[in-house]
Structure 1
Amino acid sequence: MINKQKIMKINSIPERSTRIVEAVFRCKWSLTVYQLLAEGVNRPGEMVRSVDGLTTKVLNDCLRKNMDFGIIERIEYNEVPPKVEYVVTSFGKKFITIIEELKDLEDEMSALA
């Protein structure tokens, strides 16, 4: 009797990246923050002033979550008064590209409906 080895592996969902995507979509402000950063709005006070309904507390929670995932990073300048800016990391640029692709896919699906 010939013993055949199985060549196919079961593909599983990538856990870490899936958790990041879920967390980003659960946070209603993450996509807005990415858009602001893309437009050059990178200071927290300026972000809050740019978006109706966005509060400092909610923004800080959103920024912290995105920093924990490595999507954005905080740059602190040694000045008085303190100056803080946020920028997208190289990983964040890749991640945001994937999010944009998901949006394009959603648009295509909506057009078919």
Structure 2
Amino acid sequence: MNTNEKKFSRKLSPAKSARMVETIYGCKWSLTVYQLLANGINRPGEMVRSAEGLSTKVLNDCLKRNVEFGILERIAYNELPPRVEYKVTPFGMKFIRILDELEKLQDEIDAEY
């Protein structure tokens, strides 16, 4: 064996980011929520009314997961009646750009077959 040969160790996938992508794609509503936010719809009630088939419970679960990952920020206003809004964090903007690139890759794959 040549002593100049470089040995490579097994490359592992990035655990947390891979889990984030898997979880977000596993939630069929996350991409719709990002689209709603991009169109200025940032209140949960308005999101439910704007997306056909989206329930309040499913939306709340989706929003909670996105907040836990740091993709979205929840802003609660100290008002009566209570008002809550969501916005994409700077980290979330980076993450959504990656998802956009994955979508472009899928479009290329679909065009080939």
Name the TM-score class by shorter chain. over 0.9
CA deviation profile, 1:32-69 (whole Å, cap 9, x unmatched):
00000011100000000001110000000000000010
- TM-score, normalised with respect to structure 1: 0.93
Tell me by how many angstroms 1:4 deviates.
4.6
Q: Distance in 1 between matches of 2:3 and 2:99?
A: 44
Tell me by how many angstroms 1:5 deviates.
7.1
SS at structure 2 position matched to 1:54: coil
Alignment RMSD, CA only?
1.6
1:69 corresponding residue in structure 2: 69
1:110 corresponding residue in structure 2: 110
Q: Distance in 1 between matches of 2:88 and 2:15?
A: 22
- Amino acid in structure 1 at the alignment position of 2:21: V
Q: Map residues 32-51 of structure 1 onto 2, 5 A cutoff.
A: 32-51=32-51
Q: Map residues 1-113 of structure 1 onto 2, 5 A cutoff.
A: 4=4, 6=6, 8-113=8-113
SS at structure 2 position matched to 1:53: coil
- TM-score, normalised with respect to structure 2: 0.93
Q: Distance in 1 between matches of 2:83 and 2:112?
A: 47
